[in-house]
Amino acid sequence: MFTIKRLFILITASVMAVTGIAAQSNPGSDLSVEESYLKESIELMIIRETARASTREQKFVALEYINDAINRGSKNDDIRQTLDFLSREGRRSIAMENGRVVNNFPDVRRLSAKYLGQMGTEEAKKSLLDICQFENEPMVLQEVIKSLGDIGVNDNNETVVIISWAFSRFDNLNPDNLMAIATIDAFENIARQNNGISHPEAIRTITRIAEGQYITPVKERARQLLSDLRVYNSNQ
C-alpha cells in the first residue's frame, strides 16, 4: 500500500536529487536558502498531514519525523502546533464510531508531551500547561510534568501551581509513586533554573509527598527537596 511514509521518502529523494545536481554544478557548496526552505517545507507538510491521518500507526510516523527534526535543532512552531494537535487525540479532539472513542492514543499523547519538552520554547510550555488541565492518563501527565521541569520556565509561579494542581488530582484519589517522582524531578529542575521555589502550593505538594502514602525512597527524596529549597531561600 502506498503510505504517506513512502510518499515522504520519494519526495525527499527527489529533493536530494535536485540538490545533488546543484552541488555537482557548484562543488563544495551547501544547500542554498531556497533549497533548504523547500526541503523544510516539504517535511513540515508531510508531518502535518501524517499527524492528521486517522490511524495510530501514521501518527507515530509523524512523531518519528518530528523527533528527527528536533534532533537537528528545529524549533519551527509548525512542529509545536502539530505536537499540540497530537496531544489532544482522544481528550479534547474526539473521534467516535458506533458510540465509542476510536482515537484515544495515550502513547501518542505521551510522546507529544516529551517532544514539546525537548523543543523548550515558551509556546511549547504553554501547550504543556494546557495538557495538564485536560489530561487524565497518569503516564501522559508524568511526561508532561517532566517536560515542564526540563523547560524550567516558571514565570509568576504559573508552572509550579499547575503541576501541583495536576498532582493533587491523583494524590487525593489514587497516590501514584511515579507521579510523585515526576513532580519531585520537575520541582528540582525548576528550582535549579530559578534559584529556588517559594510558592506555598509547591511547598504543600512536596510536603504531601513526604508525609503521604508513598514508598520510602520517594518520601525521602521529597524531604531532601524541602531541605534543598531552604538552602536556596537562605541565599536570597
Q: Does the pLDDT at position 137 exceed 70?
A: yes
User: Which band of pLDDT confidence, cut at 50, 70 and 90, is reported for residue 173?
Assistant: confident
Mean pLDDT along residues 48-68: 96
Upper half-sphere CA count for residue 229 (Cβ side, 13 Å) = 21
Q: CB of 167 within 8 A of CB of 145?
A: yes
Mean pLDDT along residues 22-41: 63
Q: Does the pLDDT at position 6 exceed 80?
A: no
Mean pLDDT along residues 1-10: 50
Higher pLDDT pick, 76 / 11: 76
Kind of pairing, strands 96-97 and 100-101? antiparallel
Q: How far apart are CA 108 and CA 123, in angstroms?
A: 20
C-alpha dist (Å) from residue 66 to 12, 51, 109: 15, 10, 14
Supply the pLDDT for residue 19. Answer: 44
* Model confidence pLDDT, tens digit, residues 106-133: 999 999 999 999 999 999 999 999 999 9
Question: To the nearest whole percent, how much of the chain has pLDDT over 90?
Answer: 76
Q: What is the DSSP-derived secondary structure letter of residue 89?
A: B
Supply the pLDDT for residue 8. Answer: 53
C-alpha dist (Å) from residue 97 to 28, 100, 102, 105, 118: 55, 5, 7, 15, 34
Q: What count of other Cβ atoms lies within 10 Å of the Cβ of residue 103?
A: 18
Which three three-digit cell numbers place residue 210? 513526604
* Model confidence pLDDT, tens digit, residues 60-110: 999 999 999 999 999 999 999 999 999 999 999 999 999 999 999 999 999
Amino acid at residue number 64:
E
Mean pLDDT along residues 201-208: 97
Supply the pLDDT for residue 1. Answer: 42
Mean pLDDT along residues 21-30: 47
Q: CB of 222 within 8 A of CB of 206?
A: yes
Mean pLDDT along residues 202-220: 97
Mean pLDDT along residues 18-26: 44
User: Which band of pLDDT confidence, cut at 50, 70 and 90, is reported for residue 35?
Assistant: confident
For CA atoms 80, 6, 95, 105, the dihedral sign is negative
Q: Does the pLDDT at position 16 exceed 50?
A: no
The DSSP code sequence of 100-165 is EES---HHHHHHHHHHHHHH--HHHHHHHHHHHHH---HHHHHHHHHHHHHH---GGGHHHHHHHH
User: Which band of pLDDT confidence, cut at 50, 70 and 90, is reported for residue 23?
Assistant: very low
∠ CA 18-21-26, rounded to 5°: 125
Question: What is the distance of C-alpha 93 from the center of its chain?
Answer: 17
Residues 6+ apart with CB under 8 A from 95: 54, 101, 102, 103
